[in-house]
Structure 1
Amino acid sequence: MTIYKKKLEAEISEAFIKQQRDLIGRGPQETKTYIVHDMVIVRFKGVLTVEEKHLVEHETGKRVVKQMRQVLREIYSKTFEEIVEKYTKCQVLSSHSDISTKMGERIEVFVVNRDLEKCLEKGELK
């Protein structure tokens, strides 16, 4: 793994943390980004608010939290994709998201238009 790859992953994580703090008022407890071939995978731990933690203890609450988070994701999906495009200099072809109410984590997967990992290995994105 190149130093530049680690640096880029850290920069993307920080950008997502800042963006979530600006939009939601709080960020996740931990964020980790992984670049794997043509995908940028971002894992957020500790994303549930205190209220959401209470809600997910009940089946109806789990559905409400998932639906609310899905709506928020749809609203901010363009912003999320712009972050990935800004840092990777790649076009986002598609993006996918899911939240685990059991684990209190969310995952975002962005598929980009080239093998980003290979480009980093070759030093093409410095």
Structure 2
Amino acid sequence: MAYSKKKLEAEISSAFITFQRELIGRGPQEAKTYIVQDMVITRFKGVLTTEEKHLVNHDKGRTLVKKMRQVLREMYSQEYEKIVENLTHCKVLSSHSDISTKMGERIEVFIVDKDLEKLLDE
């Protein structure tokens, strides 16, 4: 693969921000992707909307925000995985996601079928 690791990580981050802006109407303030062996890990900062920030100050609201984001992620999991597959040319075997309402961050982890890190130039 003629890609550098840093360039591919940046492209994945950018693609996720674009997708989330189209999906939710706004994207995270920051996204950083890390390729580690057969894992693609993306950390999103500043993911909560203004309304969600108000809700997470209450116990029921925190649960509601986490559940809503979980449902959205499940609805669009194929699209998230397709972004990784299209950019890495690897098959996504599984993906995992979680959101921290305390930090306003979300993490995505994709397990792919190859040691992607070995395939890339530094």
The CA deviation at 1:116 is: 0.3
* TM, length-normalised to structure 1: 0.93
Aligned counterparts, 1:36-115, within 5 A:
36-115=36-115
Instruction: Give TM-score, length-normalised by structure 2.
Output: 0.96
Structure 1: give runs of 5+ residues left out of the alignment. none
Output the aligned Cα RMSD.
1.5
What is the CA-CA distance between 1:119 and the residue it aligns to?
1.0
Secondary structure of the corresponding residue to residue 48 of structure 2: coil
Higher relative contact order (CA 8 A, sep 6+): 2
Tell me the CA shift for residue 29 of structure 1.
Answer: 0.3
Matched AA of 2:74: E
User: For structure 2, which runs of at least 5 residues remain unmatched after alignment?
Assistant: none
Measure the CA separation in 2 of the matches of 1:65 and 1:53. Answer: 9
Equivalent residue of 2:97, what SS? strand
How many residue pairs get aligned? The number is 121
Give CA deviations for 1:5-29 in whole Å, capped at 9, x if unaligned: 0000000000001001111110100
* 1:51 partner amino acid: E
Aligned-pair CA distance for 1:48: 0.2
1:33 — aligned with what?
Answer: 33
Would you identify which runs of 4 or more consecutive aligned residues in structure 1 move more than 4 Å? none
